[in-house]
Amino acid sequence: MTAWLLSGLLLFQGMGGGPRPVKQAGGPKVAAPAFTLREVPIGLTAKHRYGDRTSKYILSMTGNGVAIVDFDNDGKPDLLFADGVAPVLYKNSGKGFVDVSAGSGLTARPWGQGVCAGDFDNDGWTDVLLTYYGASRLYRNEQGKFRDVTGAAGMPTDGKRFATGCAFVDYDRDGSLDLIVSNYVGFDLATAAQPGATKYCTWLGLEVFCGPRGFPTDRPILYHNDGGGKFSDVSEKALKGISGLHYGLGVVTADFDGDGWMDIYIACDSTPGILLRNNRDGTMTDVAVEAGAAYGADGEELGSMGVAAVDIDGDGRLDLVKTNFIDETPSLYRNLGDWFFVDATQETGFGRDATAVGWGVGVMDFDMDGRPDLIMANGHIYPELKAAYRQSKSLYWNGGGVFATLRTGAAMASRGLAVGDLDGDGVAEVVVANMNASPSVYKVEGKRGASIGVRLEGTRGNRSAIGARVKVIVAGKTQTEEVRSGGSYGSQHDFTLLFGLGTAKEAERVEVRWPNGETEVMGKLEAGAMYRMKEGAGVVGRVPWR
Amino acid sequence: MALVLALLLFGAQLGANDWLQKGIAALKAGNVVEARAALEEAVKLAPGEPVMWLAVADARLRSGDAALAMAAMEQAGKLAPGSPMVDRGRLMFARRMGEVGQGLLDARQEKRAEAVLQVAVKAFPKKAELWRLLGLALYAQGRNAPAVAAFVAAIDLAPEEESLYAGLETLLPAGKAVEARLAKYVAGHAGSALGWYLLGLERGDAALWEKAWASDAKFWPAAFALHKRAEPGRAIELLERVVELNPEYAPAYYALAQLYAKQGARGKALAARKRHHELVKETQ
């Protein structure tokens, strides 16, 4: 399959250009990476529709997420885009991507926001939640066809909640995937104020859409999977300590304290972030303030959109990275353990570039050197800015705990971003959803190390293995990753985890801690393939890289 | 609305003075639209009366038409050159322009504020306060270079007025012209903590913040600036003094929390994070 991506590359040489380092004073120095990200056309032709050409309402700002998900179980990751008019589903044919939205069972509905995936009924077919302004829609995957089961699941089918990020997560470890949905602002299209109407409707002298300040805040919703296809809203009793003063956007789930119970982080716009510690008794408590993960480096409320959990320094603890508004840099919170984070934005090199409005964020070891890198989708929120509305992507290359900051790719008004190996060559592509334009796909070009992939299937817990933690030990160093639903900005990364081995020919040891807490050791795994692992059965398949 | 109706029905029967009185009453009541309608009628009926033009200038300004307001003011001046009433009116008008500009800034209407203040500095180029406000309006729009120029114009008009320098704080370093003025100010005011602090920002010289701190042990911005360059122990000392002097300054608690965290003093860091959060919530 690599061939069709490469042929596209030749056709579009020069498109977007290679990475450019951001030259800003201060911060630690690090060399540039030996790879580039090149835009490749893979058949994603549908132009997404979202909002209008002016920023009359905040609803026009948020845009869409993207999911990399194998909806037809053919082993090849497909793509699902949320959209302002109707979701778009592309099937990965192995030779390119084909729009199969018609007849997919996904229905047209305005103001689609984010998307997350998980097999909530454990039938072996990955289901999805699409978030909306209005009412989010739960789609059950029935052997490759989706069916809207929102009402049947007991979830609201109408309303005016402005849902954005989401994730399936088995927070109570009962073996069924529950759902966390973040909500942005209390917004009513019928009564919303016009640009310039109040002090919350201007930006640097421009009359722009109002908000988020000035709008009522909202709270996240936690749905418990009751079984039998039913969900119930347990937010009131299960989510503790949330002030309610939040404008929620991106959601990531991760086991931040390594206790085997999934925790949740919600990136919030212009308000403190939410860090929900799993109390292991069916409840979660917001500890973001005490943990030091609520504010920016100077104690300011950040305009946060996207979020990722990543073990940046190889200490086995998952750190947090957030994308933020312009004049703020992305944030890195280093996890020191025991629910204590410190802002490490400056010393790690994340504090160099404050010129982007960051949205989706993906973690991927692009050069497979054994250290995770990050990619961020950027785009301003006010179309009135014309050229400045569109921004190139940000690449943070891990030079060993310190990151080089580069801008790469064509300038677009980007929102969602997901990473996944679309062509099975052992390194992930980057898929970016753009406002009122076709999506962009980037492929790594250049020198890179060896890699392995890990694809998990749960048997005792949830079948998607969401919440499973994988440790890969190479040359004495441990890489830690988890299978997650959601993440980024309203997006879904591929469930297959990729690990860089550098110059090593094999991973010395691979451990999987399944969502129920049991650990399986897989032993040595040779580089150059994706390994399928089944809970209780070890490695059940090996697919060599193409 | 009642006034507009009156204007339509009885306009011909009311004299200029009647409209003037109605307009002034409406202005006092804060009914700018009605005031302006009445006073425009008054100048129509008595275009040779400076007082009518002075009054309509005020109404026009309050309704956001700074240029038309200025034209009315000039008309009053032409009709009664050297008149004490017109001179007093001009002074009041200048102050009013500043008030309107400030009001628009408070309402985050930066562009409209700038429009009023541009007219104001053109009409009253010797009023330092108007230049200062213009600087704020430009800064609020992210137009830093013209903002600095406006602040410099204000400083040149009243170089002894220390408060005029304060507007530069977030724009520093701003270049040689600003540096020269700050240096000149501190040369004549060796005890000015603000002066040393700003010159320190301009030059990026922590020794000047030390000087500011030595000049006034209560001038906490100098201590806050200093902590960023100090080794952790002293930085904590400085920040603890900052929160003692200004217990409501949230960023100092957050900075303290960061330092405590890096030193492994988790309990203290936690307390500082909580206090910071409380203060942020209080301001919302």
Q: What is the pLDDT of residues A117-161, one digit of tens each?
A: 999 999 999 999 999 999 999 999 999 999 999 999 999 999 999
CB contact under 8 A, A200 and B141: no
A25 touches B at CB < 8 Å: no
CB contact under 8 A, B261 and A336: yes
CB contact under 8 A, B269 and A243: no
E strands present in A314-468: 319-324, 331-335, 341-343, 358-364, 373-378, 391-398, 403-412, 414-420, 429-434, 440-446, 450-457
- pLDDT class for B284, splitting at 50, 70, 90? confident
- pLDDT class for A12, splitting at 50, 70, 90? very low
CB contact under 8 A, A299 and B251: yes
Distance from the A535 Cα atom to the nearest Cα atom in chain B, whole angstroms = 39
Distance from the B65 Cα atom to the nearest Cα atom in chain A, whole angstroms = 18
Tell me the mean pLDDT in the region A331-350: 96
- pLDDT class for B280, splitting at 50, 70, 90? very high
The partner residue sitting opposite B141, judged by closest CB among A204, A272, A342, is A204
A244 touches B at CB < 8 Å: no
CB contact under 8 A, B266 and A340: yes
In the predicted structure, residue A10 carries a pLDDT above the cut 80: no
B160-202 confidence digits (pLDDT tens)? 999 999 999 999 999 999 999 999 999 999 999 999 999 999 9
Residues of chain A contacting residue B142, judged by C-beta atoms under 8 Å apart:
204-205
The neighbouring-strand residues paired with A442 are A39, A430
In the predicted structure, residue A68 carries a pLDDT above the cut 60: yes
Distance from the A339 Cα atom to the nearest Cα atom in chain B, whole angstroms = 10
Residue matched to tokens 């709270």:
A219
Evaluate whether A504 touches A511 at the Cβ level (below 8 Å).
no
CB contact under 8 A, B277 and A289: yes
B142 touches A at CB < 8 Å: yes
B262 touches A at CB < 8 Å: yes
- pLDDT class for A402, splitting at 50, 70, 90? very high
> How many CB contacts within 8 angstroms connect chain A with chain B?
63
Please give the residue of chain A at the shortest CA–CA distance from B228.
A298
Evaluate whether A160 touches A188 at the Cβ level (below 8 Å).
yes
Evaluate whether B115 touches B68 at the Cβ level (below 8 Å).
no
Tell me the mean pLDDT in the region B241-246: 96
CB contact under 8 A, B281 and A245: yes
Residues in chain A: 546
The partner residue sitting opposite B108, judged by closest CB among A199, A289, A295, is A199
Tell me the mean pLDDT in the region B66-89: 90
CB contact under 8 A, B142 and A205: yes
CB contact under 8 A, A243 and B281: yes
A74 touches B at CB < 8 Å: no
Evaluate whether A394 touches A400 at the Cβ level (below 8 Å).
no
In the predicted structure, residue A482 carries a pLDDT above the cut 70: yes
Distance from the B109 Cα atom to the nearest Cα atom in chain A, whole angstroms = 7
Cα separation, A362 vs A374, in Å, equals 6
The neighbouring-strand residues paired with A417 are A432
246-275 in chain A: CB under 8 A from chain B: 272
A486-545 confidence digits (pLDDT tens)? 999 999 999 999 999 999 999 999 999 999 999 999 989 999 999 999 999 999 999 999
In the predicted structure, residue B4 carries a pLDDT above the cut 90: no
* Predicted pLDDT at A3: 38
Cα separation, A161 vs A153, in Å, equals 18
Residues of chain B contacting residue A344, judged by C-beta atoms under 8 Å apart:
none
Distance from the B251 Cα atom to the nearest Cα atom in chain A, whole angstroms = 5
Residues of chain B contacting residue A294, judged by C-beta atoms under 8 Å apart:
277
Please tell me whether the peptide bond between A33 and the residue prior to it is cis, using omega within 30 degrees of 0: no
CB contact under 8 A, A204 and B277: no
The partner residue sitting opposite B141, judged by closest CB among A205, A245, A272, is A205
Query: Radius of gyration (Cα) for chain A, nearest Å?
Result: 21
Mutate to test the interface with A, among B280, B282, B284 (most CBs of A within 10 A): B280
Mutate to test the interface with A, among B144, B273, B281, B284 (most CBs of A within 10 A): B273
φ/ψ (deg, to 5) at B140: -65, -20
Residues of chain A contacting residue B250, judged by C-beta atoms under 8 Å apart:
299
Cα separation, B266 vs B259, in Å, equals 10
B5-64 confidence digits (pLDDT tens)? 555 555 557 899 999 999 999 999 989 999 999 999 999 999 999 999 999 999 999 888
B111-154 confidence digits (pLDDT tens)? 889 999 999 999 999 999 999 999 999 999 989 999 999 999 99
B110 touches A at CB < 8 Å: yes
In the predicted structure, residue A16 carries a pLDDT above the cut 60: no
- pLDDT class for A7, splitting at 50, 70, 90? very low
The partner residue sitting opposite A199, judged by closest CB among B107, B262, B273, is B107
Q: Comparing A107-111, A225-229, A477-481, B104-108, which segment has the lowest mean pLDDT?
A: B104-108
Tell me the mean pLDDT in the region A297-320: 97
- pLDDT class for A1, splitting at 50, 70, 90? very low
Please give the residue of chain A at the shortest CA–CA distance from B278.
A289
B271 touches A at CB < 8 Å: no
* CA distance readout (Å), A99 to A94, A147, A306, A392, B168: 14, 18, 27, 26, 56
B281 touches A at CB < 8 Å: yes
The partner residue sitting opposite A298, judged by closest CB among B111, B251, B277, is B251
* Predicted pLDDT at A331: 98
Secondary structure element (H or E) that encloses residue A13, with its range: none
CB contact under 8 A, B110 and A202: yes
Helix, strand or coil, per DSSP, at residue B1: coil
* Predicted pLDDT at A82: 97
Please tell me what DSSP assigns to residue A422. Answer: S
Q: Which of B63, B128, B55 is nearest to B93 (CA)?
A: B55
- pLDDT class for A28, splitting at 50, 70, 90? low
Mutate to test the interface with A, among B105, B110, B118, B279 (most CBs of A within 10 A): B110
The partner residue sitting opposite A301, judged by closest CB among B270, B273, B280, is B280
A186-222 confidence digits (pLDDT tens)? 999 888 888 888 888 888 878 899 999 999 999 999 9
Query: Radius of gyration (Cα) for chain B, nearest Å?
Result: 25
A165-187 confidence digits (pLDDT tens)? 999 999 999 999 999 999 999 99
In the predicted structure, residue A4 carries a pLDDT above the cut 50: no
In the predicted structure, residue A415 carries a pLDDT above the cut 50: yes
Evaluate whether B151 touches B128 at the Cβ level (below 8 Å).
no
Distance from the A342 Cα atom to the nearest Cα atom in chain B, whole angstroms = 7
Residues of chain B contacting residue A342, judged by C-beta atoms under 8 Å apart:
258, 261-262
B277 touches A at CB < 8 Å: yes
Q: Rounded to 5 degrees, what angle do the CA atoms A160, A150, A230 make?
A: 120
ipTM score of complex:
0.88
* Predicted pLDDT at A149: 98
Please tell me what DSSP assigns to residue A48. Answer: P
Question: What crossing angle do the helices spanning B250-262 and B220-227 adopt, rounded to 10°?
Answer: 30
Distance from the B269 Cα atom to the nearest Cα atom in chain A, whole angstroms = 8
CB contact under 8 A, B276 and A272: no
